[in-house]
Chains A and B, each alone.
Chain A
Amino acid sequence: MIVTQQAIAIFAAAGEENINPLIPAPFEIFWSLIPLAVVFFVFFRYVMPKLGAVLDERAALIEGGISKAEKAQAEAAAALEEYTAQLTEARAEAARIREDARAEAAQILAETRVKAGHEADRIVETANKQIEAERQQAIVSLRSDVGALATELASKIVGESLADDARQQRVIDAFLTDLEANVKAEG
């Protein structure tokens, strides 16, 4: 509004001074065309392409930088993931090995225990057999010795040779039976 009012005032004043600011003088057109032509020429041929090229170059550089950074970040993330996976795998592996070792140890222990038990049994059995054999041998040996001694003693006492083997054997058996009965009675 202010501008319009003032414009009216200007034109009123201009009319008094015989100047019409709406009609350009030919020389002013001439001196418009030349500076504008120069400005357009320099801007179109030099200033705008140069600045545009720099801007494009910068944009490309920034885009390149960003994509490079993104790539690096992706690589880092992938590496981290890989390491994490490897670490997890290694931990699992270690746990498995430990578990295996424990199981193996337990198995070995159990096997050893069983084997030792068998061995002990076998030793005990062998010893028993040996004792039994030796006892048998001792019984046999004792029986023959005691028989011989008793027979000799009895022959001397009775004066009668108990040459007859059958009778001799009978006498010895009877003696021994008595002896055993005595031992049992005393025991």
Chain B
Amino acid sequence: MIRIATESGDGFHAPSISDFYPDALFGDGTFYEFNRILLVRVIATIGLLAIMGFVAKRATVVPSRGQSIVELILGYLRENVVYGVLGEEVGKRYDKLLITIFFAIFAFNITGTIPGLNIASTGLIGVTLVLAVLIWVVYLTSGIIKHGFVGYWKYSLFPSGAALAVKPLIALVDLAQIVLIRPATLALRLTINMIVGHLLLALTYSATQYFWVDAASNFNIAYGFITFFGIFFMTALEVFVAVLQAFIFVMLSAVYINMAVSEDH
């Protein structure tokens, strides 16, 4: 599909990665440079806080419909993800953190399917990197608090039961995992998913525009129907991916924390 998009020439606006790097709205070149994507992120933040603040403010013992939905999500995350991975006792220390990250990522992701916003600000690696570093700091400090500085590295890098010959190899791989690969994959997975999702969704829009308006012919109009229904399919898929990627990020974060604080390796 990418190839089709790039091969199409005249009048066809192929969605590209540069959609994520628009011109600055203000502060061009400064540390507070602001553009359309970041505006979408700020809007998502305000929207999330408005909805959750409203739900929390109106929260009652007998829940309203909206409150029930939020509670359902909260309860699912807490029981199945946080407590499911970490156990209830340890999980209680991390549930606020992980649930908040889920909602934040979901809010930044879902803007990709909201008409008018049409971009997921998690397609920029900065925010996912900040969250990944946060998780990295959390699991390192948790492990060090639990096992002591030396104890943590000894416990993480030299699992008992490994043959002496492979011990250095395992230590090297585990070191790379802990200090680099885990946070990097956390950030990359999310960002790449969002970039790809945007490109696919934008492609259905722009291809439909091209087939029906820019290059309308009998043949192309028929094609246009395919891409037109593709809009609905891709939108549904992107909503799903927005939830799924937030879920995966939180689930893996819980797993990494568990690896740092658990008793057995």
Residues of A at under 8 Å CB distance from B?
A: 3, 6-7, 9-10, 13-14, 17, 19, 21-33, 35-36, 38-40, 42-44, 46-48, 50-51, 54-55, 57-58, 61
Contacts and interface: CB of A to CB of B under 8 A. Distances in A.
A102 B41 CA distance: 98
B108 to A, nearest CB: 8
A3 B192 contact: yes
Contact of A43 (B21, B42, B96, B192): B96
A47 B199 contact: no
Contacts of A36: 104, 127, 130-131
Contacts of B200: 6
A31 to B, nearest CB: 4
A28 B33 CA distance: 8
A38 B20 CA distance: 23
A54 B61 contact: yes
Contacts of B41: 31-32, 35
B34 A29 contact: no
A53 to B, nearest CB: 8
B6 interface: yes
A21 B74 contact: no
Contact of A47 (B52, B60, B129): B52
A131 B13 CA distance: 155
B196 A61 contact: no
Interface stretch (B24-32, B146-154, B228-236, B256-264): B24-32
Given A19-B17, A61-B61, A30 B32 contact: yes
B8 to A, nearest CB: 14
B211 interface: no
B127 A39 contact: no
Contacts of A25: 33, 124, 126
Nearest to A25: B126
Contacts of B196: 3, 6-7, 10
A52 to B, nearest CB: 8
Given A13-B17, A21-B191, A42-B53, A48 B96 contact: yes
Given A43-B103, A47-B52, A35 B45 contact: yes
Interface string B157-197: 00000000000000000000000000000001001110110
A130 to B, nearest CB: 105
A39 B18 contact: no
Contacts of B80: none
Given A10-B17, A27-B32, A43-B100, A55 B127 contact: no
> Which 9 pairs of residues, A with B, have the shortest CB-CB distance?
A24-B126, A28-B126, A27-B33, A32-B127, A35-B45, A50-B56, A43-B100, A31-B38, A54-B59
